């Protein structure tokens, strides 16, 4: 694709990177074929190629965003299915991130839109605020007609009761039976996940400890910053990124870390991109690169580094039919797909393939709250494809997908790490107690 950035514009590091990406695009349109919003809406501007043109036009012409551009960019799920399909290696993720940051700087969003986005940014990135809102929700439910449509939707999605935690809150979880751990990893426990589904982190810690691996949860790390990053809130996101990089790097230097484990694939994708985000920052470049290199999704780490000891064998256990839902941030964002499937296969159960498995379920961070109609259409399609193959439960690697898919089906949905923990000596997951 031809570009027309001036020399002056190319002094900006983000313009410089984006220009290189634009030049790779040969506008073949192959990416439209696997774009969920293009498939649903059929509009060129709701596909990756159209969005690339919109972003290029804004950046090249120093054009402020307008409502038409914002509509089409906001509809992008950041599922990165287009990146898997593109034969030219166009890094759409970096373009859409740049486009969103430009929108945030140059566009004045309508009042309720702004309030909703600020509310989500403030509440979902803070465990304390999220818990407070959960409690408050129980009281405001009778008056929820007073709020905007999006806030009403969020209130309706809030659970009435939270699951109980079974592990004490600590900074270091050491393996019990060994004097010296075989490895030492940091775990990102996340912001929303540890409130909504603490069992995911607990299964991760138990499983790693059982295999001789020490798990550290450094104080001060909550959110990975991806939520603000995808909302275009650069300043807030960068503050979080820098804090996380400093804390993890310090831990790496002082006590040693073999890996940083993410069990929320949306977060893992962003942390693996810290190196790119800080590519021109002299203070953080080296540290950010190291943090990205150390980061592994839990399925990737288990498959590559851990010799798992399965105690439930197919001969003495029941054989289940498990549908594996590959979260977009994992399969397209991190190119990690077969690892989780291989792990589940090792349990001796059957892994069922979901047709159109490359297409997003509609969860996509805050997307199901901000673009509810499209998200619901995608959910309907995903659930149809899952129910067609009649699994006993669904396994996936992202809390967003778990909560979103669970809203559309009665089939239990759980994290892959809960399945692996169970088959290597952990408790049977509560959600499966009746099957």
How far apart are the C-alpha atoms of 423 and 417, rounded to whole Å? 10
The residues facing 433 across adjacent strands are: none
Q: Residue 218 CB, nearest distance to ligand SF4 (Å)?
A: 31
Decide: is 88 part of the binding site for ligand SF4 (CB under 6 A).
yes
- For ligand SF4, give the closer residue by CB, 37 or 299: 37
Q: Residue 338 CB, nearest distance to ligand SF4 (Å)?
A: 21
Among the listed ranges 34-42, 147-155, 264-272, 401-409, the one in contact with ligand SF4 (CB under 6 A) is 34-42
Query: 279's torsion region: left (phi>0), alpha (psi -120 to 50) or beta?
Result: alpha
- For ligand SF4, give the closer residue by CB, 81 or 349: 81
Binding residue for ligand SF4 (CB under 6 A) from 22, 92, 119, 248?
92
First to last CA, the chain: 54
Decide: is 368 part of the binding site for ligand SF4 (CB under 6 A).
no
How far apart are the C-alpha atoms of 428 and 62, rounded to whole Å? 56
Decide: is 272 part of the binding site for ligand SF4 (CB under 6 A).
no
Residue 211 phi/psi, 5-degree rounding, is -100, 25
Q: Residue 392 CB, nearest distance to ligand SF4 (Å)?
A: 30
Decide: is 51 part of the binding site for ligand SF4 (CB under 6 A).
yes
Q: Residue 86 CB, nearest distance to ligand SF4 (Å)?
A: 3
Binding residue for ligand SF4 (CB under 6 A) from 11, 20, 23, 27?
27
Q: Residue 365 CB, nearest distance to ligand SF4 (Å)?
A: 12
Binding residue for ligand SF4 (CB under 6 A) from 65, 77, 340, 351?
77
Angle of helix 372-388 relative to helix 399-406, nearest 10 degrees, comes to 80
Decide: is 98 part of the binding site for ligand SF4 (CB under 6 A).
no
Minimal CA–CA distance to 37: which of 373, 383, 398, 428? 373
Q: Residue 358 CB, nearest distance to ligand SF4 (Å)?
A: 9
Decide: is 36 part of the binding site for ligand SF4 (CB under 6 A).
yes
Among the listed ranges 8-16, 58-66, 76-84, 275-283, the one in contact with ligand SF4 (CB under 6 A) is 76-84
Binding residue for ligand SF4 (CB under 6 A) from 81, 91, 326, 334?
81
Q: Residue 94 CB, nearest distance to ligand SF4 (Å)?
A: 12
H-type helices in 61-91, by residue range? Answer: 67-74, 81-85
Q: Is the dihedral of CA 117, 119, 122, 123 positive or negative?
A: negative
Decide: is 78 part of the binding site for ligand SF4 (CB under 6 A).
yes
Decide: is 374 part of the binding site for ligand SF4 (CB under 6 A).
no
Decide: is 31 part of the binding site for ligand SF4 (CB under 6 A).
yes
Minimal CA–CA distance to 386: which of 352, 340, 338? 352
Q: Is the dihedral of CA 329, 78, 200, 351 positive or negative?
A: negative
Biggest CA pair distance of the chain: 69
Binding residue for ligand SF4 (CB under 6 A) from 18, 45, 49, 378?
49
Contacts of 215 (CB under 8 A, 6+ apart): 172, 173, 185, 186, 187, 204, 205, 208, 209, 261
How far apart are the C-alpha atoms of 388 and 233, rounded to whole Å? 40
Among the listed ranges 75-83, 158-166, 207-215, 264-272, the one in contact with ligand SF4 (CB under 6 A) is 75-83
Q: Residue 48 CB, nearest distance to ligand SF4 (Å)?
A: 4
Minimal CA–CA distance to 327: which of 302, 361, 297, 351? 361
Minimal CA–CA distance to 189: which of 160, 165, 210, 161? 165
Q: Residue 177 CB, nearest distance to ligand SF4 (Å)?
A: 45
- For ligand SF4, give the closer residue by CB, 78 or 189: 78
Decide: is 417 part of the binding site for ligand SF4 (CB under 6 A).
no
Binding residue for ligand SF4 (CB under 6 A) from 10, 20, 26, 342?
26
Q: Residue 115 CB, nearest distance to ligand SF4 (Å)?
A: 25
The residues facing 27 across adjacent strands are: none
Q: Residue 405 CB, nearest distance to ligand SF4 (Å)?
A: 18
For 43-54, letters b (16+ CB in 10 Å) and e give: eebbbbbbbbbb
Angle of helix 92-106 relative to helix 48-60, nearest 10 degrees, comes to 50
Site residues for ligand SF4 per CB under 6 A: 25-31, 35-37, 48-49, 51, 76-82, 85-86, 88, 90, 92
């Amino acid at each position: 694709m031809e570009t027309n950035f001036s020399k002056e514009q190319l002094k900006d590091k983000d313009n410089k990177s984006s220009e290189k990406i634009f030049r790779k695009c040969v506008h073949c349109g192959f990416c439209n074929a696997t774009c969920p919003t293009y498939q649903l809406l059929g509009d060129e501007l709701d596909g990756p190629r159209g969005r690339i043109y919109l972003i290029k036009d804004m950046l090249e012409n120093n054009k402020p965003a307008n409502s038409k551009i914002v509509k089409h960019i906001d509809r992008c799920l950041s599922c990165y299915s287009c990146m898997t399909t593109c034969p030219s290696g166009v890094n759409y993720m970096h373009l859409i991130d740049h486009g969103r940051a430009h929108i945030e700087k140059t566009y004045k969003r309508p009042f309720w839109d702004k309030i909703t986005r600020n509310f989500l940014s403030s509440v979902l990135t803070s465990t304390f605020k999220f818990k407070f809102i959960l409690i408050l929700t129980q009281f405001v439910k009778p008056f929820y007609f007073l709020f905007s449509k999006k806030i009403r939707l969020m209130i309706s999605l809030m659970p009435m009761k939270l699951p109980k935690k079974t592990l004490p809150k600590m900074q270091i979880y050491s393996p019990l039976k060994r004097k010296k751990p075989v490895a030492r990893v940091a775990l990102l426990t996340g912001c929303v996940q540890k409130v909504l589904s603490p069992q995911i982190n607990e299964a991760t810690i138990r499983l790693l400890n059982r295999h001789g691996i020490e798990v550290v949860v450094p104080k001060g790390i909550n959110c990975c910053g991806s939520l603000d990053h995808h909302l275009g809130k650069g300043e807030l996101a960068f503050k979080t990124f820098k804090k996380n990089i400093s804390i993890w790097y310090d831990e790496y230097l002082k006590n040693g870390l073999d890996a940083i484990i993410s069990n929320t694939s949306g977060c893992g994708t962003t942390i693996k991109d810290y190196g790119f985000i800080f590519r021109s920052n002299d203070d953080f470049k080296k540290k950010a690169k190291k943090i990205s290199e150390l980061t592994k999704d839990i399925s990737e780490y288990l498959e590559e580094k851990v010799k798992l000891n399965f105690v439930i064998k197919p001969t003495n256990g029941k054989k289940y039919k498990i549908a594996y839902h590959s979260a977009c941030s994992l399969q397209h964002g991190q190119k990690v797909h077969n690892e989780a499937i291989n792990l589940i296969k090792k349990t001796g159960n059957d892994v069922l393939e979901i047709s159109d498995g490359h297409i997003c379920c509609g969860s996509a961070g805050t997307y199901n709250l901000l673009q509810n109609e499209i998200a619901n259409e995608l959910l309907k399609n995903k659930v149809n494809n899952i129910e067609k193959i009649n699994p006993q439960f669904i396994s996936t690697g992202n809390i967003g997908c778990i909560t979103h898919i669970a809203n559309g089906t009665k089939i239990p949905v759980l994290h892959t790490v809960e399945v692996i923990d169970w088959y290597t000596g952990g408790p049977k997951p509560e959600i499966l107690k009746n099957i």
